[in-house]
Structure 1
Amino acid sequence: MHGFAADVDLSYRSDCRVVEHEGRVVAVARNQDEALASIGSAAWVLMEKPEMIALENVISVARPTGTKVAAALDAAEEVRGAAFALDVGVDALVLRPPLGPEDDLWEAAVIARAQRAERVVVEEPAPDGRPVDLEVATVTRVEPGVVADRVAVDLVRLLRPGEGALVGSSAKALALVHGETLPSPLVAPRPFRVNAGPVHAYALLADAKTKYLSELEPGDHILVVDVHARTARPVAVGRLKIETRPHLLVSFAHEVESDTLPREGQLFLQQAETVRLVSSDCEPLCVTDLKPGHRIFVSFAKHGTHCGRPIDARVVER
């Protein structure tokens, strides 16, 4: 972490100031919108006295792009928050000149730099997001009795048998929920629908981000996974149907020990015969028939998310 020269030339744009420093473009942003607008086009984005939530949002967007984020601070109590925002922190701190040998601001910055140097560097996710790797997990628990607001995701394209969406209570542990493509003696198929679970759950989008089911909108593209072909395609959401229904809590565990991937996950699914997961034999498995010991397809990821974007920070979701 370091500071920029104080005597650089400034030019002005309508959105924010642009600083030329050592041949690199530094966008000086006064708020989150100005900072986000400069990501990808500037080598650095310098946020002046940023609010923490704004700083976290800018860091999460900038990480995959190559644009670095700096924070201009003038108080010692602001240093740690900026240095460790989202558990990764800004790329630089810009400080006023020291007022003396025991300046609290500079002392806090030196301590933060030393603490950052002790941290283990985690490999950054690829710019285009994480790949969708299906793995097998074992069902460890099935519990009834939860009433929740269920979201049925109706898509603009027809689904094929073996296709579904990745959904879960944690963005790092998603289960493959089969589309309603199969006939039932009780109700006609809805081959455009994924009964995805309650409003709090995550769904994996086509751009490798996640989104709460409650925040999905028509036009959003979710990732539809074909378990037979091991391929995936983006499909737009056409409608969302939210109704209060009884649910089952399904917990599952990873079958392989791993130091980087989560060991367990869970999701709630409507207690209905038409709602299915996908077994390790690539067969639809009704949640009403689900028992501990059943093996299902899931997707585990080592990266947590911030506002749906993969971030190489420690994120724990239970």
Structure 2
Amino acid sequence: MKEKWLMARGSWEEIKPQITTALESGFECVIVDRENVERVRELGNIQVACFGAEKGAEDILVIGRHGEGDGSVPLPKDLNSSMDYALAKTISGNKAAYVVIAGKKYEQFAVEMGKHVDYLLVIGTDWKVIPLENMIAGLQGCQVKIISGVKSSDEAKLALATLEQGADGVLLDSSDLSEIKRVMRAAEQSEKGRLDLIPARVVSVKPVGMGDRVCVDTANMMVPGEGMLIGSQAKGFFLVHSESEDSPYVAARPFRVNAGAVHAYIRVGEKTRYLSELKSGDEVTIVSKDGLSRSAIVGRAKIEKRPMILIEAEADGVLISTLLQNAETIKLVSSDGTPRPVTELKAGDEVLVHLEEAARHFGMKIEESIVER
């Protein structure tokens, strides 16, 4: 998850609306003056950081302001003579280094500081992408999280997309409440993955009697074209559409996917889980008809006995199947991206599926021969 930090400058009356908006937008941390630490905690549950040279009541101490980090004190030729570097090495507890990248030597200084802190807050001047790329490469293997300073959502998008993994988060320095919201959306967009969805030809559709099926109700809204990847075999998953469309039978429930039988797999991130295992608070993955994926939180999982229908389909020579509730409101996604009720499916129709190259063991991909029928 990409972290979102806010730099809150000014009087408490000025920064209180900013912090409230950051809380509502899911920001992980706010940097304030030390006298405002407890005030922030009264507003909600968020990490509080502040600048200083010694630990106080804050969750994260930030080293570098009014020192070598922001250029107030010139960088020494010998790194061991740096006061900020000495603090980073000796102070215990959660800490961050704040470095303004005013040139190549500050980039190198940031990398060395990053080896001794939990967070590295890097602020660009005329530089944006190149120093961040170099620092990400220079700190590979270190536990530090790189948080890139930005003044807008456009800069946030760039920082979060640099290299394949991008920065670990962004530090927004803006009093614009709308910009705080836009940075939240930029971070959400950067976390979306993409999965390959391909058309599969339906081979057979037949009722099979009663079974226990799972409705996955999430704390997140879905839109038409989104659903979850479900399958009876870990080698292949059907895109089961959310109940985000009105029908003659029931009002839309855009938070729900009627996902199928209790035994079925659901793809969650890079792993699989059984539908029967899901419970409130668990994470699931929502997938769009274009293959874009995002995380959602399970609000509840409802298991009820319902008439079931078996759907078998073939893609790239692989036969996959799934059991779904036999009802008009349960839909797969056609190869053209439109939802198709399972009660209307017939042999020869095409639906979107995702195929896996590896087998799975306890939900993890493994290179092993497993036969599932």
Counterparts of 2:369 and 2:330 in 1: how far apart (Å)?
33
Please tell me whether residue 187 in structure 1 is matched to residue 240 in structure 2.
no
Answer yes or no: is the 8 Å Cα contact 1:198–1:213 preserved in 2. yes
SS of the residue 2:371 aligns to: coil
Counterparts of 2:369 and 2:195 in 1: how far apart (Å)?
20
Answer yes or no: is the 8 Å Cα contact 1:304–1:313 preserved in 2. yes
1:235 partner letter = A
Instruction: State the match for 1:215 in structure 2.
Output: 277
Can you list the C-alpha shifts for 1:209-231, whole angstroms capped at 9, x where unaligned? 00000111222211111114x31
2:297 partner letter = A
Correspondences of 1:103-114 after superposition (within 5 Å): none
SS of the residue 2:301 aligns to: strand
Counterparts of 1:311 and 1:238 in 2: how far apart (Å)?
31
Cα deviation for residue 131 of structure 1 reads 6.5
Counterparts of 2:194 and 2:287 in 1: how far apart (Å)?
12
Identify which of 299, 307, 316 aligns with 2:354.
299
Instruction: State the match for 2:144 in structure 1.
Output: none
Instruction: State the match for 2:333 in structure 1.
Output: 278
Q: For residues 301 and 311 of structure 1, do their structure 2 counterparts lie closer, same or farther at Cα, with a shift above 3 Å needed? A: same
Query: How many aligned positions are there?
Result: 182
SS of the residue 1:188 aligns to: coil
Counterparts of 1:304 and 1:145 in 2: how far apart (Å)?
27
Question: Would you tell me which structure has more helix in proportion to its own residues?
Answer: 2
Counterparts of 2:278 and 2:234 in 1: how far apart (Å)?
15
Cα deviation for residue 132 of structure 1 reads 2.4
Which protein has greater RCO, CA pairs closer than 8 Å, 6+ apart?
Answer: 1
Answer yes or no: is the 8 Å Cα contact 1:146–1:249 preserved in 2. no
SS of the residue 2:327 aligns to: coil
Q: CA RMSD in A?
A: 1.6
SS of the residue 1:186 aligns to: coil
Cα deviation for residue 145 of structure 1 reads 3.0
Gaps of 5+ in 1: 1-129, 258-262
Instruction: State the match for 2:365 in structure 1.
Output: 310
Q: Which has the larger radius of gyration?
A: 2
Counterparts of 2:259 and 2:301 in 1: how far apart (Å)?
10
SS of the residue 2:250 aligns to: coil
Please tell me whether residue 239 in structure 1 is matched to residue 294 in structure 2.
no
Cα deviation for residue 189 of structure 1 reads 1.1
Counterparts of 1:282 and 1:186 in 2: how far apart (Å)?
22
Identical amino acids, percent of aligned pairs: 46
Counterparts of 2:372 and 2:358 in 1: how far apart (Å)?
12
Correspondences of 1:159-178 after superposition (within 5 Å): 159-178=222-241
TM-score by length of 1: 0.56
SS of the residue 1:181 aligns to: coil
SS of the residue 2:297 aligns to: strand
Instruction: State the match for 2:167 in structure 1.
Output: none
TM-score by length of 2: 0.47
Can you list the C-alpha shifts for 1:242-278, whole angstroms capped at 9, x where unaligned? 1000011000001x35xxxxx1100011011110000
Cα deviation for residue 314 of structure 1 reads 1.1
Answer yes or no: is the 8 Å Cα contact 1:137–1:252 preserved in 2. yes
